[in-house]
């Protein structure tokens, strides 16, 4: 398991990403069914679309949200100044 700070970041990012992505996925799927109305006759389409788009959105959102948790590469030590 990660540190408790990582757990807080996961919780924070989840709280940000879930509602945003759920709203986004509903909007996307509604737009698709408005463009292609025959999809409304397929009872499974909207729910399947909603779940798939939401998963993709959450993955991307979560990855972006947690970017600041990557340990930075140590910079090389500064060279001592030259003595004259």
Give Cα 58 to chain centroid, integer Å. 4
> What's the rounded Cα separation, in Å, for the pair 36 and 32?
6
Work out the mean pLDDT of the chain and round it to a whole number: 83
pLDDT number for residue 22: 94
Q: Is the pLDDT of residue 4 over 70?
A: no
- Kindly indicate the confidence band of residue 1, based on its pLDDT and cuts at 50, 70 and 90: very low
Give Cα 21 to chain centroid, integer Å. 8
The answer, as to whether pTM is greater than 0.75, is no
Give Cα 8 to chain centroid, integer Å. 16
Q: What is the pLDDT of residues 39-81, one digit of tens each?
A: 999 999 999 999 999 999 999 999 999 887 655 555 555 555 5
């Amino acid at each position: 398991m990660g540190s408790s700070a990582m757990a807080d970041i996961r919780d924070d990012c989840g709280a940000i990403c879930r509602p945003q992505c759920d709203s986004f996925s509903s909007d996307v799927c509604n737009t698709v069914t408005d463009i292609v109305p025959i999809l409304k006759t397929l009872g499974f389409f909207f729910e399947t679309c909603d779940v798939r788009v939401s998963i993709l959105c959450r993955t991307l959102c979560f990855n972006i949200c947690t970017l600041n948790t990557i340990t930075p590469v140590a910079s090389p030590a500064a060279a001592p100044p030259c003595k004259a």
